[in-house]
Amino acid sequence: MKIAVPVKFVPDLVEELTIDPGGTALDTTWLRLIISEFDDHAVEQAILVKEKNGGQVCVIMAEADGADDFLFTAAAKGADQLIKLTGDFSNVNNHALARAHAEVLKDLHPDLILTGVQAHNDLDGSIGPLLAEYLGMPYVGYVAGITIDGDKVIARKEYAGGLIAEIEVKLPAVLGIQAAEQPPRYVAYSKIRQVMSTAKIEEKPGSALSLEESIVVSRMFLPEVAERATMLEGSPDDVAAKLIAIFKEQGTL
Amino acid sequence: MPIRETFWNIPHWAEIAQYIAAFLTAAVFIYGVIRRIQRWRMGRPEKRPGNFWNRIWSLVTQVLGQRRTLEEKYPGIMHFSIFWGMLVLAFGTALATVDTDVTDLFFGFQFLKGWVYIVFELTLDILGLLVILGLGMAVYRRYIAHPSRLQNFPVKKLAGDDLYVLVMLSFITLSGYLTEGLRIAVTQRDWAVWSPIGNAIAQLLLSLGDPTNQTLHLIIWSLHILTAFGVLISLPFTKLFHILSVPLNIYFRSMKPAGALPPANMENGMGVKEWKQFTWKQLLDFDACTRCGRCQDVCPAYASAQVLSPRNMMAKLDAHMWEKANGHSLHGDVVSSDELWACTTCHACVQVCPAFIDHVTTFVDLRRYLVDQGKMDKMLQDALGNLGRYGNSFGQSDRMRAKWTMGLQPAIKDARREQVEYLWFVGDYASYNASLTDVTRKTADVFQKIGLNFGILFESERNAGNDVRRVGEEGLFEMLVDKNSQVFAKCKFQTILTTDPHSYNALKNEYPEGDHGRPEVLHYAELLDQMIAAGKIKFSKKLNYKVTYHDPCYLGRYNGIFDAPRRVIEATGCELVEMPRHGDRAFCCGAGGGRIWMEEKEVKERPSESRIREAAGLTGIQAFIVACPKDFTMFKDAVKTTGNEQNFVVKDLIDLVAEAL
Amino acid sequence: MSQDILVIIEHLRGQVTDTSYVMLAGAHQLSQSSGGGVVAVLLGHNAQKLASNLSADKVLYVDHPALAEFTFDAYQITLENLIKQQSPRAVIFGHSSIGMDIASGLSARLEFPVVSSCRTFTSEGKFISQICGGKIMAEGDLPAPTALITMVPGGYKAESGQSSQPPSVEIIAAPALGDLRVSLKQYIEPDTSDVDITKEKMLVSVGRGIQNKDNIELANDLAAALGCAVSASRPVVDQGWIPTTRLVGKSGKHVKPKIYLALGISGAPEHVEGMGDSEYIVAVNTDINAPIFNIAKYGTTVDMFDLLPVLTEKVKQAK
């Protein structure tokens, strides 16, 4: 079983996000990138599948600050192959990124492609279903659990309200991971360092980076402050008293 | 003339038999000791160099003087009596052997005669009593008083081992007296009065008549000798071995600062998975443990949830290292991860151990393996992930590290840009924790008022790594050290100043020397104390509060700073009342060793709550003074959860100073 | 080429999802500037009755056994044909476990652009998307000729997408749906043995800020005093500190209590999706910049560990 995991970086929400003077994009001066949370889960899920069913895990990502570190971390967790797409990805949208991934994935012939169900900065669709279309594979998203069954995979797809659907999908297929069966594991720094001296990152040129289906943002802004909550100030005692008043007013007390 | 009559009433064959037995005993004894040494040598190599005279001196004070053992009265006196009694009795026996088998046999004279012999007899007779006193105390303590620390051993056969030692020593002593009494009853020498106990026993036996007593003498003597050989034979195989292993362990103890952990084993993964990955010294530690349980009594993890007992850990590891099938992983089968994560690394166990065992190093080595395997709870994972990415455990941006300085006048200097005398290493908690911002700002204010030329590193500061290292994440610790050291190298300063004992410990004991050697590191309590002593801080107010002071583990036990904060408190005009557990016996708040980053398992009583209740037992205190940011948050919570908010408040040392200025 | 706005109705086990109504409400707003009609697209099997309360000018209904419940292939093939046929100005999908599975693929197949996470439309017909965990809004012209859109709830009220007038239904023939690679094996129902948090008048809800399992007790105490239930956001449920039945959010329950007391919840869109319709949201969070304060009626930055014991005490006294 060969599992490919295309992943991407997104702005780190721990940092304060600001809009650039043009007003149509994020200010990159203070921007820091971090792995998309769902992609991190996809890597974990791939390694869990490998540990259970055997096989190989290949993690692929576009060149970015910190990409090497992330790939080595994935290798320390158990990934077997690391691929870095090279080129200028600074303004690339998801369609183009998915095409670039698809080019590489075609030659890899994976049985299963796992990727994050979405990323928080997706503006033109998500990578998983785009990849499925470019590669002619079926797609199932919001997956939080996988069982391999011969040439099929049973995916546990999450719906609103806690409903879960067991979906049977013929391989090869793309699954959009909502959550791995267990939270992404921790890898000790010493392990990553060890891997850095042994693992190799294959570099492949990212092709087809045209931006045909681009979504044009004419204004980017922070959510309106006018809608903000009325703040209750004072000591815990004061705040508690004010809350009691609100509870009473609403008849919940 | 009084003279030692060795082998009185002993037929020649018995004498010969005794010598043959003695040689056999010696052979087994030597075999047993070599077996122990070989086992230790299966561990990793480690150098314990230098300090020869210091080491010898600690043998004098700790072995002969029994200093640590005597820190607890009852068990101290008990052990002291047995130790010195048996030592002198053994020495006496050795003298008698020389008297008979060397000087008499080869040179035809005895030195145990005349007044020398009388002193000899009297001393041995009285010291025998001392042994009986000690053994009596031991029997009472172990089987009648039966304190919890002598209960519930994880390895069942250990109870038999304990009993064996008491039985054998009791029998040797009692049979010795009886042999003496029987001899005196028959020989009736006029110097027998100098053996008061033996003589008294003899008076009781007189009526049995000489022939009976002579027969009895031979029997009891034989049993006495056999027991003595039994003890010697079994010494390397039973708890008795501590007679050798403890002095060795004391001799080879680490002479480095307590706050400097040894580096991790990096062969076949990080840390310790199998027993052979321990160093020989750690294996010697296990063999030196007599499971006296003092460590368990002072352990905050044991007190709060009974998951971890340092005593049990040593006992289990020792039993494992001697098992036949012991090549497998220690984790799961021998020690559980719950036990390992429960340790706060407070060092109280190490501090009280009469055998000078270093439990904490062993626990950290085992934790290192768990970290290497990624086996830890989610909260700790997140904290370590955050420390790696943002340099703090809060998962906040490093750019927010100096947010607390906003609006401070005058503005705090940027130590990266201008030269300062004091580089204030603020630490994570003081920087990011919302409930500490006021204290941190007040600290800055006091530093300004007392005229310190100081600066901070703003977003370039990283967690110092003290607890990262104690969690077992050695690689991340090294990364944090690298990052901080690089910044230090670019700054011009004389002294590193910090309010955080954890940062203090790492910076002082574990950071590498820079180009200009190791910078001086001061805790603010030390600096304030120095400045008060030099008259550079003058207080305008006398506070008159009645307060108690909590020693932070990493300031007190680890670095020996006990007096400085107390002098500062007293200089502000406060009356200091000590809690029962203070100084090097202070009870940990429960946050150290990375515990503050981990999930709290079910507990009987949180260490911090136990501590607050202890303080609440003091009459009339108004404030509970801390000198550690983590302590401030831990105890503020505990004051609330124990319902002591009306009784006293938690204050930082700086609160007192600011108020008295 | 029409100016119609197509809305792909989502339904699960015989029930139209709330998000579908929100999408219809959005479509009405958009249709005002585009000038076309709002056309609901319903795919199903014996499901025509689901069209009855949809607020739309017209419903296109496709019936096929393979469309009974959502699956990837059947929906995508059907919609590919339908969109080609209709060539509308825009197609609105849910930014959900259904819509997100197919919108991007259709975008690639039909070569129509897709806009993600759209929350509202402006009166000029621009989209406003909510990205970066709700911290950033992006506005832009609706791409031409046909824009595919995935829409998040929160921008419009579900009621505005409902109507008491049953719309006219046009039946469209299903394409050939053979050789499907994806099939639904079964649904696993959520556990119903626990309290149904969707029926509570008030919820005390805890998020990551609760820090550890022990602190859940503080929330339990308050809820007990108030006589209501405790719910939680995903991180807390993932830790196993609170059962999944109490999960509020995209993948959990959608709740609308009178008062939703959010303790240490940052207010990520996935969570807001499950509670944004609550009447009064009261947020307790020490981070003044937490997005939860953008949707809350009342907020406080007081430390919840200071607040909760006091509040619980006061509630007990007030009774």
| pLDDT computed for residue B340 by the predictor | 96
Does an H or E element contain A125, and which?
A: none
Does an H or E element contain B658, and which?
A: helix B653-660
Question: Both tokens of residue C304?
Answer: 């919840």
SS3 B423: strand
Characterize B29-62 residue by residue with b for buried, 16 or more Cβ atoms within 10 angstroms of its Cβ, and e for exposed.
beebeeebeebbeebbeeeeeeeeeeeeebeeeb
Nearest to A214 by CA among A96, A118, A64: A96
User: CB contact, 8 Å: B297 with chain A?
Assistant: no
Q: Decide if A188 and B473 are in contact by the 8 Å CB cutoff.
A: yes
What confidence tens digit (pLDDT) does each residue in C126-146 have?
999 999 988 899 999 999 899
| pLDDT computed for residue B53 by the predictor | 95
Higher per-residue pLDDT: B2 or B488: B488
User: CB contact, 8 Å: B152 with chain C?
Assistant: no
Helices H / strands E in chain A, number of each: 6, 13
Q: Residue B475 — φ and ψ, nearest 5°?
A: -65, -45
| pLDDT computed for residue A227 by the predictor | 63
CB-nearest to B473 from A183, A185, A189 is: A189
Summarize the confidence of residues B589-606 as an average pLDDT.
88
| Single-letter code of the amino acid located at B143 | Y
pLDDT > 70? residue A211: no
Whole-Å CA distances, B529 to B200, B522, B560, B660: 63, 11, 15, 14
CA B362, CA B308: separation in Å to the nearest integer? 13
**Omega within 30 of 0 (cis) for the link into C291:** no
Q: Tell the residue number behind the tokens 């005692």, with chain if given.
A: A237
CB-nearest to C114 from A124, A165, A225 is: A124
Higher per-residue pLDDT: B1 or B480: B480
Q: Decide if B389 and A15 are in contact by the 8 Å CB cutoff.
A: no
CA C54, CA C25: separation in Å to the nearest integer? 10
Q: Which chains touch A (3 or more CB pairs under 8 A)?
A: B, C
In the β-sheet with A164-170, what is the strand arrangement from edge to edge?
A201-205, A81-86, A56-62, A2-7, A112-116, A173-177, A139-149, A152-158, A164-170, C182-188
Question: Both tokens of residue B210?
Answer: 């000489």
Contact residues for B638 (Cβ-Cβ < 8 A; gap 6+):
B589, B606, B608, B609, B611, B612
- C-side interface with B, Cβ within 8 Å? 211-214, 239, 286, 303, 305-306, 309
CB-nearest to C239 from B378, B600, B637 is: B378
Predicted model pTM = 0.89
Question: Both tokens of residue B151?
Answer: 């209960």
Residues in chain C: 319
Among all residues of chain C, which has the CA nearest to that of B603? Answer: C214
CB-nearest to A237 from C69, C253, C310 is: C310
pLDDT category, A230, cuts 50, 70, 90?
confident
Among all residues of chain B, which has the CA nearest to that of C288? Answer: B434
Q: Are C86 and C66 in contact (CB under 8 A)?
A: no
Q: Residue C213 — φ and ψ, nearest 5°?
A: -60, -40
Chain C residues closer than 8 Å to A222 by CB: 135-137
Characterize B369-398 residue by residue with b for buried, 16 or more Cβ atoms within 10 angstroms of its Cβ, and e for exposed.
bbbbbebbbbbbbbbbbbbbbbbbbbebbb
User: CB contact, 8 Å: B637 with chain C?
Assistant: yes
Q: Decide if A220 and C136 are in contact by the 8 Å CB cutoff.
A: yes
Q: Which of B:477-496 have CB within 8 Å of A?
A: 478-479
CA B231, CA B169: separation in Å to the nearest integer? 8
Among all residues of chain C, which has the CA nearest to that of B396? Answer: C287
User: CB contact, 8 Å: C126 with chain A?
Assistant: yes
Q: Are C260 and C275 in contact (CB under 8 A)?
A: yes
SS3 A164: strand
Q: Are C137 and C130 in contact (CB under 8 A)?
A: yes
Average pLDDT, chain B: 94
Q: Are B545 and B575 in contact (CB under 8 A)?
A: yes
pLDDT category, C213, cuts 50, 70, 90?
confident
Does an H or E element contain A49, and which?
A: helix A37-53
| pLDDT computed for residue C212 by the predictor | 77
Summarize the confidence of residues B305-333 as an average pLDDT.
93
Whole-Å CA distances, B133 to B74, B79, B122, B140, C40: 12, 10, 17, 11, 97
**How many CB atoms neighbour CB C257 within 10 A?**
27
Summarize the confidence of residues B81-87 as an average pLDDT.
96
| pLDDT computed for residue B50 by the predictor | 85
Indicate the pairing of strand C259-263 with strand C280-284. Answer: parallel
| pLDDT computed for residue C244 by the predictor | 85
What interface predicted TM-score (ipTM) does this complex get? 0.90
| Single-letter code of the amino acid located at B161 | D
Summarize the confidence of residues B457-477 as an average pLDDT.
97
Among all residues of chain B, which has the CA nearest to that of A35? Answer: B389
What confidence tens digit (pLDDT) does each residue in C62-110 have?
999 999 999 999 999 999 999 999 999 999 999 999 999 999 999 999 9
Q: Decide if A162 and C253 are in contact by the 8 Å CB cutoff.
A: yes
pLDDT category, C114, cuts 50, 70, 90?
very high
Among all residues of chain A, which has the CA nearest to that of B374? Answer: A186
3-class secondary structure per residue, chain C: CCCCEEEECCEECCEECHHHHHHHHHHHHHHHHHCCCEEEEEEECCCHHHHCCECCCEEEEEECHHHCCCCHHHHHHHHHHHHHHHCCCEEEEECCCCHHHHHHHHHHHHCCCEEEEEEEECCCCCEEEEECCCCEEEEECCCCCCEEEEECCCCCCHHHHECCCCCCEEEECCCCCCCCCEEEEEEECCCCCCCCHHHCCEEEEECHHHCCHHHHHHHHHHHHHHCCEEEECHHHHHCCCCCHHHEECCCCECCCCCEEEEECCCCCHHHHHHHCCCCEEEEECCCCCCCHHHHCCEEECCCHHHHHHHHHHHHHHHC
Q: How would you class B159 by CB atoms within 10 Å of its CB: exposed for 0-12, middle for 13-18, buried for 19 or more?
A: middle
Summarize the confidence of residues A65-83 as an average pLDDT.
96
CB-nearest to B599 from C212, C286, C303 is: C212
User: CB contact, 8 Å: A65 with chain B?
Assistant: no
Share of chain C above pLDDT 90, in %: 67
SS3 B240: helix
Chain C residues closer than 8 Å to B637 by CB: 305
Whole-Å CA distances, C277 to C269, C281, C297: 13, 9, 12
User: CB contact, 8 Å: B12 with chain C?
Assistant: no
pLDDT > 70? residue A210: no
| pLDDT computed for residue B269 by the predictor | 83
CA B57, CA B14: separation in Å to the nearest integer? 42
Please, where are the H alpha helices in B473-523? Answer: 474-490, 501-505
What confidence tens digit (pLDDT) does each residue in B611-631 have?
999 999 999 999 999 999 999
| Single-letter code of the amino acid located at A194 | Q
Nearest CA distance, C257 vs chain B (angstrom): 31
Q: Which chains touch B (3 or more CB pairs under 8 A)?
A: A, C
| pLDDT computed for residue B257 by the predictor | 92
What confidence tens digit (pLDDT) does each residue in B268-286 have?
889 999 999 999 999 999 9
User: CB contact, 8 Å: A66 with chain B?
Assistant: no
| pLDDT computed for residue A208 by the predictor | 61
Among all residues of chain C, which has the CA nearest to that of A162? Answer: C252
pLDDT category, B290, cuts 50, 70, 90?
very high
Q: Decide if C303 and B434 are in contact by the 8 Å CB cutoff.
A: yes
Q: Which of A:30-89 have CB within 8 Å of C?
A: none
Does an H or E element contain B576, and which?
A: strand B575-576
Chain B residues closer than 8 Å to C212 by CB: 379, 599-600
**Highest mean pLDDT out of B387-401, C183-197, C280-294:** B387-401
Q: Tell the residue number behind the tokens 């994560």, with chain if given.
A: B341
Q: Decide if B372 and A191 are in contact by the 8 Å CB cutoff.
A: yes
CB-nearest to B396 from A14, A185, A192 is: A14
B318: left (phi over 0), alpha (psi -120 to 50) or beta: alpha
Chain A residues closer than 8 Å to B371 by CB: 186, 188
Among all residues of chain B, which has the CA nearest to that of A194? Answer: B269
Q: Are C33 and C123 in contact (CB under 8 A)?
A: yes
Q: Are C221 and C312 in contact (CB under 8 A)?
A: yes
Q: Please tell me what DSSP assigns to residue A42.
A: H
What confidence tens digit (pLDDT) does each residue in C240-278 have?
888 888 999 887 888 989 999 999 998 888 898 889 888
SS3 A226: coil
pLDDT > 60? residue A226: no
| pLDDT computed for residue B601 by the predictor | 75
How would DSSP label each residue in B150-186?
GS--SSTTHHHHHHHHHHHHHHHHHHHHHHHHHHHHH
Does an H or E element contain A167, and which?
A: strand A164-170
Question: Both tokens of residue A164?
Answer: 């879960």
